[in-house]
Chain A
């Protein structure tokens, strides 16, 4: 039962342009959402998060948008850089259920110089 879905396995973007990674979820009780970035042979690294009481959170070149009615979140990277090439995972959790995070299957981003 995949409660968090990333329907695009891969994405290619030119350097300097915007990268938009998408994520959908099915459980309306999720209230905290995160994005992780993963390079080969390394563990995922936390990138940015958003609480369900917000619809946008920004950190430098990274912005996460949350649309609760559509059960959709997206990660925008502007401008994209070659070092951003990695696999990106979105994750979600429901409050007061311990630390059971639900992860998507990942989107492999390639930024072309």
Chain B
């Protein structure tokens, strides 16, 4: 069974630009969550999508947005990039029908802002 796939693996942008990251979940999984990981901060929850609807949202500014398609693939967009947005962005999927199921992670997209 293929795992969670994130593209691209690495990305370099400059301040003020925007970026779109992509995530393909495990087949059959309907829930996709996005996290930001920075040194010392652990994994900070961005948002979760389930059946094309945003079901949960973390405490990030509106520059961070996402969407989910009918095939459960998800994209995350960050507009007006800031230096502090440099981080590893992780996507995780799960069946999503009950909450006591582990999430399975992709290998992340490393975003660097110059």
Interface residues of A (CB under 8 A from B): 2, 6, 31-32, 34, 36, 41-46, 49, 51, 89, 91, 93-106
Neighbouring A residues of B4 by C-beta, 8 Å: 43
A49 to B45, CA, bound (A): 19
Chain B binding surface, main DSSP class: strand
16 contacts between A and B (CB under 8 A): A36-B105, A41-B107, A43-B92, A43-B108, A46-B104, A51-B100, A89-B43, A97-B99, A99-B94, A99-B103, A100-B45, A100-B48, A101-B33, A101-B45, A104-B42, A105-B42
Q: Which of A41, A49, A97 contacts B102 (CB 8 A)?
A: A49
Assess whether A42 is in contact with B103, with CB atoms less than 8 Å apart. Answer: no
Say yes or no for B90: interface residue by CB 8 A criterion. yes
